[in-house]
Amino acid sequence: MVDSPHTCTLVLGGARSGKSRHAEGLCRESGLSKLYIATAAAHDSEMEERIDAHKSMRAAEGWQTIEEQHDLAGKLASSLASDRIALVDCLTLWLTNRLLADADLAAETDRLCEAIERRAGPVVFVSNETGLGIVPENALARRFRDAQGILNQRVAALSTHVHLVAAGLPLVLKEPNS
């Protein structure tokens, strides 16, 4: 799926759907050197263990890893190159980090989309599809769900490929000339 430096792929899915595994596979198939931009923050010991396990796996597979919980647009601008593929995992955790930092989510989305348009190399984004569940009970959760939906739509519009993963099975929603 990564056919040129201009390729941008969005992989959507629910929690534990296999979206990250699918995105990693797309990066491996590219044959390019691999950069992993991790957006998770460890707020408890269980999350710390998950992050450590992922770091070990990526190191064993030759990924270069950059951790960036907030300035994703800046990291994309400074890290992408046409001779390597970047995987951003994931937009949902990045958006959560920005929400908890009381950032202007519309401005952050604009800034990220501008960085995507100016990027120098292929990139794969992972994001949760949060709009398939019930309407959240509280205002903060509804604000997040709405911001996530808008972010996903904007990144999908800029992407050459969009996949939805459910039960480990990818469904192609968008590809060139479709």
Catalytic residues: 54
Phi, psi (deg, nearest 5) at residue 93: -70, -40
